[in-house]
């Protein structure tokens, strides 16, 4: 049985809000930290206005509400993940929270030194250096985001052959999994663990078939998010899209891509077809 009773969410976005809603439904004490006082929190969730870049201010809030777990779902795009999240984890350390969940929620990051994944890996190293108990979730690509990998002509962008398996997990499954384990598992099963989950698994070539289209073999992606998508597509081709990927040794690791799924027994994970009604 979980010993965690009070939770603080930082980042009320696509993952943060359903996590907050789910925790509140389990009768947990949930606060949503926000710089804006106009944001409307989910039912059962208390909005607390605080400057999340001010570690001292966040520390005071965490202590006042006797928070056990801090969950960051901050989305900083391709920016400096370590810089943006640093004040929050510093506050978690000062407030002696029992568990910190960094904003990973994507492909495995350990061993990466550049780009978004490198930024997340750098921040994970900082959390470890503080000695704050952490829980990291690797879920691969958000299934809902698959259309973003299409070219303007409707084809699936591919850099390379497109035959390397990628992990996909839907937002409701990610949020539900996190709520489930935080409210049912003992701290010893979560502290300083990396959990790898997977709702579905497919190559980009297979994705094209599912969407009844073809692939568009390219060298790079142009436009506003071109650098980011180029970086991710190259990582997918190398194997990094699988939640079981070991970047250091350049192979699938000893833990399977869906090794964490067993912690939510009886759950039916959503497929790509179900999410996109294919």
Predicted confidence pLDDT, tens digits, the chain (278 residues):
678 999 999 988 899 999 999 999 999 899 999 887 767 888 999 999 999 999 999 999 999 999 999 999 987 655 566 677 899 999 999 999 999 999 999 999 999 998 889 889 999 999 999 999 999 999 999 999 999 989 999 999 999 999 999 999 999 999 999 999 999 999 999 999 999 999 999 999 999 999 999 999 999 999 888 898 999 999 999 999 999 999 999 999 989 999 999 999 999 999 999 999 99
Look at the pTM and tell me if it is higher than 0.75. yes
Please report the pLDDT score of residue 81 as a whole number: 64
With beta carbons less than 8 A apart as the criterion, state whether 188 and 133 touch: no
With beta carbons less than 8 A apart as the criterion, state whether 270 and 173 touch: yes
With beta carbons less than 8 A apart as the criterion, state whether 177 and 236 touch: no
128-131: list long-range contacts, CB under 8 Å, 24+ apart: 130/89, 130/90, 130/93, 131/93
Rounded Cα distance between 260 and 72, Å, is 20
Burial class from Cβ neighbours inside 10 Å (0-12, 13-18, 19+) for residue 219 reads exposed
111: which strand partners?
none
Rounded Cα distance between 176 and 181, Å, is 9
What is the rounded end-to-end Cα distance, in angstroms, of the chain? 39
Of 85, 80, 83, 84, which Cα lies nearest the Cα of 70? Answer: 85
Rounded Cα distance between 122 and 110, Å, is 9
CA 165, chain centre distance (Å):
19
Q: How many CA atoms lie within 13 A of 142 on its CB side?
A: 12
Of 102, 107, 148, 104, which Cα lies nearest the Cα of 128? Answer: 102
- For the chain, list the domains and their CATH numbers: 6-141+169-199+252-269 (3.40.50.720)
86's enclosing H/E stretch is: helix 81-94
Quick one: tokens of 234? Answer: 């190259």
With beta carbons less than 8 A apart as the criterion, state whether 108 and 243 touch: yes
What lies within 8 Å, CB to CB, of 105 at 6+ separation is: 15, 73, 137, 139, 142, 174
Please report the pLDDT score of residue 114 as a whole number: 87
Rounded Cα distance between 216 and 159, Å, is 8
């Amino acid at each position: 049985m979980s010993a965690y009773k009070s939770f603080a969410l930082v980042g009320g976005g696509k993952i943060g809000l359903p996590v907050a809603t789910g925790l509140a439904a389990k009768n947990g004490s949930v606060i949503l930290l926000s710089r804006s006082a106009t944001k409307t929190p989910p039912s059962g969730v208390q909005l607390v206005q605080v400057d999340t870049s001010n570690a001292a201010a966040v520390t005071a809030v965490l202590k006042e509400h006797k928070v056990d777990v801090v969950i960051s779902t901050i989305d900083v795009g391709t920016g400096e993940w370590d810089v943006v999240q640093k004040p929050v984890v510093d506050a978690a350390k000062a407030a002696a929270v029992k568990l910190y969940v960094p904003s990973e929620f994507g492909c495995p990051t350990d061993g990466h030194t550049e780009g978004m994944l490198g930024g997340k890996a750098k921040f994970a190293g900082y959390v470890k250096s503080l000695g704050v108990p952490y829980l990291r979730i690797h879920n691969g690509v958000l299934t809902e985001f698959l259309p973003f990998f299409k070219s303007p002509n409707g084809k699936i962008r591919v850099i390379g052959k497109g035959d390397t398996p990628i992990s996909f997990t839907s937002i409701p499954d990610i949020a539900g999994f996190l709520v489930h384990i935080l409210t049912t598992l003992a701290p010893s099963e979560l502290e300083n663990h990396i959990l790898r989950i997977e709702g579905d698994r497919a190559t980009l070539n297979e994705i094209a078939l599912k969407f009844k289209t073809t692939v568009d073999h390219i060298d790079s992606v142009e436009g506003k998010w071109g650098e980011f998508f180029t970086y991710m597509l190259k990582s997918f081709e190398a194997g990094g899209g699988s939640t079981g990927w070991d970047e250091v040794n350049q192979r699938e690791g000893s833990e399977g891509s869906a090794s964490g799924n067993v912690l939510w027994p009886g759950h039916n994970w959503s497929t790509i077809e179900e999410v996109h009604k294919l």
